[in-house]
Each structure stands twice: as C-alpha cells, then as structure tokens.
Amino acid sequence: MNPLRVLFLCTGNSCRSQMAEGWAHHLKPGVVEAYSAGIETHGLNPHAVSVMAEQGVDISGQESQHVDELAHVDIDVVVTVCDRAAESCPVFPGTTRVVHRPFDDPPRLAATASSEAEGLEHYRRVRDEIRTFVDSLPQAVSGG
C-alpha cells in the first residue's frame, strides 16, 4: 500500500508546518509521506527546531518552501495548520482533499511572554498538540 502523501501548509512554513512534517517523518514512516510548505517562506524557526530536538526529532535540515515548489508532487491531502493558510490555500488539482486543522501560533504567543523560557512553553504545547494530530494519521484525514 502506498503511503498517504500529506502536505502541511502554513503561512510562512517556519514553525507549525515544519513541526508537523518532522513528526510525520518520525512517527509515520511508510504510512505518511510528509511535506511542508507555506504560502510565503520565512525560514526555519530556531525555537521550533529546539523544542522538536527535545523530543528527539531533528528538523534542522528541513527548509522553508513555498507551496509552488511542490507542484510536481501528487499530494493526497493538504492539512492547513493555520487560519491564514486556510483562507489563502491555493487550489490543488484532481482529488486532493484539503483539511483545516489549525494550531495556535507559537511565535505570536511567545512575543507576549515575560521570558524566553515562558515563550518556549507555547512552542512545547503546540508541538505536543501537533504530535497528537500527526499520530492519528491517516485516520484523522480520511473520509469526505
């Protein structure tokens, strides 16, 4: 059976979609073929890299990509992980399904934290929420 090709789409492909791709590679090899991209590119968020490394998942080699860079990949499911990406999601050809599963924006939340340690707690919470979602794949995105 072929793995489910999942694109995690976010605004800047710097944090949430990158964490989701990392979790999919770590938790679902052979089950999910994961990609991440953004409707813009903002580089890889160092705090996302750090909190994923705490869980033994190295995303430091991943790159921030624009969704157009994946036009050659036949995606089965696009998971928009932020509201802006859902609102600006491009149209995908054929039978590609789009599922909206928003997660809070760690950089935005961390910006109001009183310390870097407190800010990292937002990243950790969202990281763990994304892990739970990715762990439920492919069932979480099956059906109509």
The pLDDT of residue 144: 47
Q: Mean pLDDT across the stretch 1-16? A: 93
Catalytic residue among 27, 31, 89, 140: 89
15 counts as catalytic: no
Catalytic residue among 7, 9, 10, 86: 10
- Using CA atoms, how far residue 98 sits from 55, 85, 114, 142, in Å, is 28, 11, 37, 11
What digits encode the pLDDT tens for the residues 100-132? Answer: 999 999 999 999 999 999 999 999 999 999 999
Ordered structural domains, the chain, with CATH: 4-137 (3.40.50.2300)
Strands 77-80 and 97-100: parallel
Residue 6 CB: number of other CB atoms within 10 A? 27
The pLDDT of residue 143: 63
Q: Looking at the DSSP assignment, which residues form a beta bridge with residue 83? A: none
Whose CA is closest to 35, among 55, 58, 63, 11? 63
51: amino acid identity, one letter = V
Q: Mean pLDDT across the stretch 135-143? A: 89
Considering only 35-49, 50-64, 75-89, which range has the smallest mean pLDDT? Answer: 75-89
The DSSP call for residue 41 is: -
130: amino acid identity, one letter = I
Q: How far apart are CA 97 and CA 93, in angstroms?
A: 9
